[in-house]
Structure 1
Amino acid sequence: MGKQYRKLEQRDIEFIKIQKMFYIASTSGQEVNLSPKGYDTIRVLDESTLLFASLPGSGNRTYRDAVNDGEFTLLFNAFEGAPLILRLFCKTEIIEESDKRYHSYLEYFNLRKGIIRNLFLFHIYAVESSCGMSVPYMEYKGERDELKEWAVDMNRRDQLNEYNDKHFTPPDLSKLN
């Protein structure tokens, strides 16, 4: 059923390219974060490296876990066609705007300028595929435009950077009742 190997194979790369959504799970000694990701925000650079464009949101646990040398798992699964679950076990590197690679990496994405919050390079150290036979068939109907529209509007009003700074650190869950 399942197998584990060190690098993406060509069939894995082709599978990733056609997925409409994926999940990022991460931890750095705090609660495990699991977040669904959509839009066209992931690129395979080679058999061991993926580039991810993070858009604004209510928290930024991916960044928190990357800064703290956390562990990451990216999960892709088939909702149509042959069943498959593909897990990528990774470490990540944050590509800040001050990094000389930043602007060349932006060219990989067809997203409006200013709405990308962070770029991440995921360095794969293990790949695991499994059958995915229990994953249901689901029909893709399209993207939700609300986040992109909101981010473009915030950027136009010069408020996006302030928002990102304010929502940079996730809430401290230890203070919950």
Structure 2
Amino acid sequence: MGKIHDRLDDRLRAFIGAQPLYFVATAPEQGGHVNVSPKGYPDTFTVIDDTTVAYLDLDGSGVETIAHLRQNGRITIMFCAFSGPPKILRLYGTGRVVVPADPGFPELLKRFGPHPGVRSVIVVDCDRIADSCGYSVPFMSFEQDRSLLDEWAQRKDTQARRAYRAKHNRESIDGVPGLSPEETDPVTVHS
């Protein structure tokens, strides 16, 4: 049976830390497309305190999460066990986007492993922490992280990254504003 937790205790933090993959879901305020993004690199996720988590937002093909959070703040993060006991953990809450120009960004950045192509840090204040069974989640073996995203970001010079972000990160697929022109101008931020 599922359970609602009032905080991220040591057992839940250990479960989060053991998962090599998590999923982020957001949606625009009205209509539009619900977005679900898989996130790898376990060193891109951190528990800040009992009800606050954050993850490193790296360059990507879209800007759905940032756009949706700036519009309405709603976010759910899901972890599920592909090995060990069957478990799903969902963190529901309100997210905010912290970009390199924001106060506090350098301190947040220290919490993550080394990655190029950093766009922002997504901070989530959890208002519901719930687990449930993962009885139908298959067993799968983790081999290794794919290094392709980091390699892709390292190959791009500043001008190429600026052009890519301007083309793909200014608005969501539904036209919701994402990163502003100043925010799509990369300053070669690495974690």
Q: State TM-score, norm by structure 1.
A: 0.90
Matched, 1:100 2:100: no
Q: Paired residue for 1:18? A: 18
Point out 4+ residue stretches in structure 1 off by more than 6 angstroms. Answer: none
Residue 34 in 1 paired to residue 48 in 2? no
* Contact 1:7–1:125, Cα closer than 8 Å, also in 2: no
Partners of 1:58 and 1:103 in 2: CA distance: 24
Q: Assess if the C-alpha contact under 8 Å between 1:117 and 1:164 holds in 2.
A: no
Aligned 8 A contact 2:99 2:119 in 1: no
- Corresponding residue for 1:83? 86
Q: CA RMSD in A?
A: 1.5
Count, aligned residues:
171
Structure 1 residue 5: deviation in Å? 2.7
Q: Structure 2: give runs of 5+ residues left out of the alignment.
A: 176-191
Q: Answer whether contact 1:112 1:152 (CA < 8 A) is retained.
A: no
Which residue, out of 45, 54, 58, partners 2:48?
Answer: 45
Question: 1:139-167 CA distances to partner (integer Å, 9 max, x unpaired)?
Answer: 0011111111011111x354213312321
Opposite residue 19 of structure 1, the aligned amino acid is Q
Label 1:103 to 1:162 Cα distance change in 2 as closer, same or farther (>3 A): farther
Say whether the 8 Å CA contact 1:28–1:70 is kept in structure 2.
Answer: no
Q: CA deviation at 1:9?
A: 2.1
Residue 167 in structure 1 maps to residue 149 in structure 2:
no
User: Cα distance 1:92–1:157, how it changes in 2: closer, same or farther (>3 A)?
Assistant: closer
SS in 2 for 1:13: helix
Partner of 2:138 in structure 1?
136
Contact 1:27 1:70 in 2 (8 A): no
C-alpha contact 2:8 2:50 (8 A) present in aligned 1: yes
Q: Is the 8 A contact 1:96 1:119 kept in 2?
A: yes
Asked if 1:65 corresponds to 2:54, the answer is: no
Distance 1:46 1:28 in 2: 27
> CA-to-partner distance for each residue in 1:74-132, whole Å, 9 max, x for gaps?
0000011111100010101111211121111111112234x111111111000111111
CA distance in 2, matches of 1:172, 1:122: 23
Matched position secondary structure for 2:56 = strand
List gaps (5 residues or longer) in structure 1.
none
